[in-house]
């Protein structure tokens, strides 16, 4: 009661200061906090209520339009002050299909017209929000849509479809998957293109949706699919391209992937159809989200309603820029934290999304990320959360408070990417000619062991020799994403070509397979970039964020050309799903059930897993990586071993020669996986 009284006094003072033009003297910490859940539009057929938060506004206005672009204004309405810095306007009629924006008056001038950041539907290019009935966006059968189970574990809690380490993630861009002629898809480059079944090209291979299901991964990570800035939706069929890391409207699907960007309902319904189609195929959906910065800064929708509040500033008042994109959001400020929390919960509840990947998560504060995890896990106990534990520049928020990789142990059920393993396998992403363990670089053995153990503490890892981290940062393997490539930087095939120009194509192919073998046999959460399973190339282009379809589109004929690689990776994925020894859940298991061969020669990493204690049908498992240019002979412990794979090829367990005793010869740039029943 006292708190409410004090806050009302503060609000009154703020209003007075605003009326006098003195709001600039109030720091953002003194802004009132609105704790309601009705910011944006509340629609019914009989009335629409519009509410924005703008404690600095002296006046606020709602403006209605007939279309998403153009000067066809219907009317403008002054908004009324309400509690805790909010402004509200209720119109008692059915406004369905009407477009709307807001503007505020502060410091002697009207700022630009913008949709509210909470907008759930927009028209062309996201410049205006639109009044819709969300019930009309649901495709047939949406009410019965459910997230599929992604684990074969028998001891899961009720309602759990799997544990984080059971996930095998497939990172893809909506347009890349189907835009090429080789996809044999009708709705190329669209949400609906990824819903088409039985797509098979003249090369005789499955593409698109069916390919992903056939590959056997569990989660499809979609590069940004919210409404972003860089593609002109008024020219949807022109040759435009972007990854989408330039946010505009956070709570609306991107229009260029829909068949009608101008219609507020179409893009929503078609994105839901995509999620529904993936779920039906047994695949979960992860959204790549970019709450750490906005495309626009001074002119952003946030900044036009509450100048300066949603962003961090330097000591001189300039926008700080840890994102290297002109600004960084201030997740620690209550109303920015509120926005992020409500946004992710909206995607889960309205769109049935199964997880989030947070771009430059190291910009966000730990408290926000942990609160987000707590609230999302309460809605969906098996939701998958992970992000980049770094920034692209310095931030005024202290390192100790941010969700950096080194602070992973403080994060609640949130994973970070292991750049240690990534660069240990293939070489530094910043030094193009640098090689890694899989391409013959010496001295990378401890880094690979660090990756195998998912950055958890292990008594046999010499942390002084790990490439980046000089100590474990994960408290459990589910806090680490094990990978060797993603959309950023060179794809694996191109990186190996650049750093090993002297090597034959056949040797680079072996390096590629060894790289993915390490990823899929390491503890933690496995992560693959789309097309890597058949040696996808981007023609040497490094960061292809706007390079167009000629560089980014997946060429599905490469799947037929490299079918041996594809079948090998597919078999490794199935092996990982079948054998929980590769998906240990606790740090204690990592340190006690995995034993490295301390006498392995340089260029070789060899280790055993106690499968029996891990509850695996393979009672003992031996994994060997040979990253050297020579074949290597490895001594095995006593007894006979079954050979699952050797030299990047899956063996036939029914043949007698697949039994091995005494020692095994592992080919150069190859791996061997052995087991005892």
- The pair of structure tokens assigned to 16 is 């007075």
What does the radius of gyration of the chain's CA atoms come to, in whole angstroms?
A: 26
Cβ neighbors of 155 (< 8 A, separation 6 or more) are none
The 10 Å Cβ neighbour count of residue 351 is: 22
Backbone angle region of 184, left / alpha / beta, with phi > 0 → left and psi within -120 to 50 → alpha: left
Map tokens 């002979």 to a residue.
633
d(CA 652, CA 671): 16
The catalytic position among 180, 196, 288, 388 is: 388
- Comparing CA positions, the residue from 145, 179, 135 lying closest to residue 45 is 135
Cβ neighbors of 649 (< 8 A, separation 6 or more) are 564, 568
Q: Is 106 helix (H, G, I), strand (E, B) or coil?
A: strand
Q: Is the torsion defined by CA of 460, 461, 465, 471 positive or negative?
A: negative
d(CA 669, CA 604): 10
Cβ 536 vs Cβ 617: under 8 Å: no
Alpha helices, DSSP H, located in 389-469: 419-426, 445-452
Give the H or E element holding residue 674. Answer: strand 670-676
- The answer to whether 176 is a known catalytic residue is no
The catalytic position among 254, 359, 476, 494 is: 359
Cβ 134 vs Cβ 93: under 8 Å: no
d(CA 112, CA 101): 10
- The answer to whether 315 is a known catalytic residue is no
Q: Is 104 helix (H, G, I), strand (E, B) or coil?
A: strand
- Comparing CA positions, the residue from 407, 449, 458 lying closest to residue 424 is 449
Residues 106-118 as b or e (16 or more Cβ within 10 Å = b): beeeebebbbbbb
From residue 278, alpha-carbon distances to 217, 220, 255, 386, 578 in Å are 11, 8, 20, 20, 22
Beta strand residue intervals within 246-380, DSSP E:
247-253, 284-289, 355-358
- Comparing CA positions, the residue from 39, 51, 112, 122 lying closest to residue 87 is 51
Torsions phi, psi for 552 (to 5 deg):
-90, -30
First to last CA, the chain: 67
d(CA 301, CA 127): 10
- Angle made by CA atoms 258, 229, 529, in degrees to the nearest 5: 70
d(CA 178, CA 207): 8
Residues 639-661 as b or e (16 or more Cβ within 10 Å = b): eebbbbbbbbebbeeeeeeeebe
Active site residues: 359, 388
């Amino acid at each position: 009661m006292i708190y409410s009284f004090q806050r009302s006094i503060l609000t009154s003072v703020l209003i007075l200061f605003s009326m006098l033009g003195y709001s600039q003297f109030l720091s953002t910490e003194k802004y009132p906090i609105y704790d309601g859940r009705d910011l944006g539009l509340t629609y019914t057929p009989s009335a629409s209520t519009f509410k924005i938060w703008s404690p600095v506004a002296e006046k606020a206005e709602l403006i209605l339009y007939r279309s998403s672009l153009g000067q066809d204004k219907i009317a403008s309405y002054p908004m009324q002050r309400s509690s805790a810095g909010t402004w509200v306007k209720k119109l008692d009629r059915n406004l369905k299909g009407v477009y709307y924006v807001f503007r505020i008056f502060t410091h002697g001038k009207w700022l630009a017209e913008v949709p509210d950041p909470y907008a759930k539907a927009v028209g062309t290019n996201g410049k205006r929000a639109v009044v819709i009935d969300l019930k009309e966006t649901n495709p047939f059968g949406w009410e019965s849509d459910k997230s599929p189970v992604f684990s074969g574990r028998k001891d899961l809690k009720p309602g759990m479809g799997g544990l984080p380490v059971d996930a095998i993630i497939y990172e893809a861009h909506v347009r890349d998957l189907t835009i090429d002629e080789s996809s044999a898809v009708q709705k190329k480059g669209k949400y609906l293109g990824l819903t088409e079944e039985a797509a098979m090209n003249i090369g005789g291979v499955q593409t698109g949706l069916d390919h992903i299901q056939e590959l056997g991964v569990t989660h499809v990570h979609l590069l940004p699919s919210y409404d972003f800035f860089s593609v002109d939706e008024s020219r949807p069929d022109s040759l435009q391209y972007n990854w989408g890391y330039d946010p505009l409207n956070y709570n609306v699907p991107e229009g260029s992937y829909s068949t009608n960007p101008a219609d507020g309902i179409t893009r929503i319904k078609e994105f839901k159809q995509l999620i529904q189609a993936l779920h039906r195929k047994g695949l979960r959906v992860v959204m790549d989200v970019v709450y750490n910065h906005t495309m626009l800064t001074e002119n952003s929708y946030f900044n036009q309603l509450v100048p300066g509040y949603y962003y961090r500033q330097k000591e001189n008042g300039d926008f700080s820029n840890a994102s290297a994109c002109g600004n960084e959001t201030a997740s620690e400020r209550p109303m920015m934290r509120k926005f992020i929390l409500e946004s992710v919960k909206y995607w889960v509840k309205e769109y049935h999304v199964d997880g989030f990947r947070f771009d430059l998560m190291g910009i966000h504060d730990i408290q926000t990320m942990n609160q987000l995890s707590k609230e999302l896990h309460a809605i969906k106990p098996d939701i998958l959360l992970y992000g980049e534990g770094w920034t692209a520049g310095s931030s005024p928020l202290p390192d100790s408070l941010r969700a950096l990789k080194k602070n992973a142990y403080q994060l609640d059920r949130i994973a970070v990417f292991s750049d240690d393993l990534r660069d240990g396998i293939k070489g530094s992403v910043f030094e193009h000619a640098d090689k890694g363990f899989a391409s013959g670089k010496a001295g990378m053995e401890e880094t690979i062991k660090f990756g195998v153990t998912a950055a958890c503490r292990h008594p046999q890892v010499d942390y002084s020799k790990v490439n980046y981290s000089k100590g474990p940062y994960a408290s459990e393997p589910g806090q680490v994403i094990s990978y060797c490539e993603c959309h950023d930087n060179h794809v694996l095939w191109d990186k190996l070509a650049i750093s090993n120009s002297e090597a034959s194509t056949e040797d680079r192919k072996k390096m590629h397979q060894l790289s993915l073998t390490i990823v899929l046999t390491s503890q933690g959460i496995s992560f693959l970039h789309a097309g890597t399973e058949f040696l996808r190339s981007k023609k040497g282009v490094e960061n292809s964020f706007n390079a167009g379809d000629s560089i980014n589109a997946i060429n599905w004929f490469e799947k037929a050309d490299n079918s041996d690689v594809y079948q090998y990776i597919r078999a490794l994925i199935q092996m990982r799903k079948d054998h929980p020894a590769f998906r240990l859940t606790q740090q204690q298991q990592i340190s006690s059930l995995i034993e490295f061969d301390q006498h392995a020669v340089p260029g070789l990493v060899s280790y055993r897993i106690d499968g029996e204690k891990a509850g695996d049908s393979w009672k003992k498992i031996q994994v060997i990586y040979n990253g050297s240019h020579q074949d290597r002979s490895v001594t095995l412990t006593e007894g006979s071993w079954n050979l699952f794979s050797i030299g990047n090829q899956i063996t036939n367990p029914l043949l007698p020669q697949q039994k091995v005793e005494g020692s095994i010869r592992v080919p150069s740039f190859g791996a061997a996986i052995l087991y005892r029943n």
